[in-house]
Homo-oligomer: A and B are copies of this chain.
Amino acid sequence: MKSKITLKELAKLLNVSVSTVSKALNDSPEISPKTAERVKELAALHKYKPNPVAVNLKKSKTGTIGVVIPNISNSFFARVLSGMEAEAQKHDLQVITYISNESLAREQQICDLLTSGFVDGVLIAVSEETQKKQAYDHLFSLVDYDIPVVLYDRINVSLPADKVGVDDETSFFEATNFFKSKGLDRIGLATAIHHLGVGKLRIRGYEKAMKKDEELRLATSTNPRSLISKIRKLLTEEKIEALLCTDFESAIMASRIAYEEGIKIPEELKIIGYMSKEVAEFLTPSLSYIEQHPKEVGSKAVQLLNNRLEGKNEPGKFDENIIATSLVHLESTKFKMK
């Protein structure tokens, strides 16, 4: 029931002007210590809090940043958001969340909204459809409106913006080399996301690690049935010894097919996938995975945006940050002692 007290009301109670109260609360050196104390005391008594909308209008900003998320059910993005929220808090920024559901049309609609002045800056991972169609006009329109943009995770877009990515290529380059160092050479890769930038990078890492004379063994499809049959072929006909999976779907399919075919993990087949720790640890057997450090991706993205907003970065010159991944070994890459 406490309707919030305003500066004006405080001023009246104190018999001073509104400007004096404002300056006192903002620690202006213009104000005498005595007055400052009186003002602060009464403000504290009434639990005065400045109306952020008014402050923002005066300062010609919004105090908020917009985050566009392609798919919140993907725990990677959920964690990125968590990292963003934590970092935003440090800079007194509020995070407004928009979910594109991997739809270009929705993304365009969101960007249209964002150019109306709801936010000071935008963090976006472009949707699958956007990537496929390479339709980036709506992103350029953000830039045209002088709204700083930071691309995160899906950064393969030539936009004048800061970027924070995951070191997808290196992750599978190193994972492949890990298998090779253990003497395995029938190494395959399964993917349901070869059409996405991140998928391409992961595949490229694998390809780069494979020597010219080594056979690439890929199971690739966005269609579940088709992917399953391709993975089954890799496991049963090509008898691969190790499998890299670029996404949760293919990893879980692979472990399921191995189970159905009686192929023992890790004895007969090693697997490394991309998935969250929680899921990886609880699978049977637990699956070794690439840790992408999503929270760091999120916090770094907000840091970059905040620097832009505070004019700390040179205009026209953009940062590209790559967060290193780590390979976490669980049961599915266990090797016997020799």
Where the two chains meet, the residues of A that have a C-beta atom closer than 8 Å to any C-beta of B are 1-4, 49-54, 56-57, 62, 64, 72-73, 75, 78-79, 81-82, 85-86, 94-99, 101, 115-118, 144-146, 248-249, 252-253, 255-256, 259-260, 276, 278-279, 282-284
Complex: how many Å from CA A82 to CA B81? 13
Instruction: State the majority secondary structure of interface residues on A.
Output: helix
Contact B146 A3 (CB under 8 A): yes
Which residues on B sit within 8 Å (CB–CB) of A259? Answer: 284
4 additional A-B pairs beyond A1-B144, A85-B99, A248-B278, beta carbons within 8 Å, are A3-B146, A49-B117, A248-B282, A283-B283
Contact of A57 among B2, B54, B117 (CB under 8 A): B54
Contact of A81 among B72, B101, B144, B260 (CB under 8 A): B72
Contact B94 A95 (CB under 8 A): no
Contact A52 B82 (CB under 8 A): no
Which residues on B sit within 8 Å (CB–CB) of A97? Answer: 81, 85, 95-97
Given contacts A51-B117, A56-B53, A96-B64, contact A79 B73 (CB under 8 A): yes
Contact B146 A118 (CB under 8 A): no
Complex: how many Å from CA A103 to CA B280? 25
Which residues on B sit within 8 Å (CB–CB) of A117? Answer: 4, 49, 51-53
Instruction: With CB as the reference atom, state the residue of chain B lying closest to A3.
Output: B146
